[in-house]
Amino acid sequence: MSFNIELIGFLAAVLTTVAFIPQVYKVWQTKSVSGLSLTMYLIFFSGVFLWLVYGLIINSLPMILGNSITLLLTSIILYFLIKSKGTN
Amino acid sequence: MSFNIELIGFLAAVLTTVAFIPQVYKVWQTKSVSGLSLTMYLIFFSGVFLWLVYGLIINSLPMILGNSITLLLTSIILYFLIKSKGTN
């Protein structure tokens, strides 16, 4: 039972992490962030950063790994969003 | 110390939940999902659903509340994304 619960948590972490790959791919391919909310990604990035801090404090490897990757993926989207604001 | 850790987790949950409000607002206002990845939101929605199941099993109120709200917010974005695919 406990194993199954952790499996659900692990699968959830994988899904909410890899979810950002197709969005990064779309931004990278089109070189466009049209339609994406800068505010969303700024708040989300801050939240994921805090989840990473939380994971480091409680020493949870899935949280540390998952949130590090999500932080990296969302920072790519944020880079394009901020660059696009600068040229507008 | 333990209180501060839970405060970080709580703040992280609030941020990664409310982050989707400006994106929902943008989609709602512009009635456009241009630039948003349907694949991202399908995978993310599935992941948040599993986080909600996980929260229900371990009986974590912040996880249940946070993930329910995120599920609601991302389902609005998904609605517009799927509707837009249908008209394309």
DSSP labels, A56-67:
HHHT-HHHHHHH
Please tell me which of the candidates B23, B48, B58 has its beta carbon nearest to residue A37: B23
Complex ipTM tops 0.85: yes
Tell me whether B69 touches chain A (CB under 8 Å): no
10-residue averages of pLDDT along chain A (88 residues): 80 95 96 95 97 89 89 96 82
Token pair recorded at residue B47 = 């992941």
Are B57 and A18 in contact (CB < 8 Å)? no
What is the tens place of the pLDDT at every residue in B7-49? 998 899 999 999 999 999 999 999 999 999 999 999 999 999 9
Cα A62 from chain centre: 14
Cα gap B12→B61, rounded to integer Å = 14
C-alpha pair distances (Å), A77 with each of A25, A65, B6, B28, B65: 9, 19, 29, 21, 27
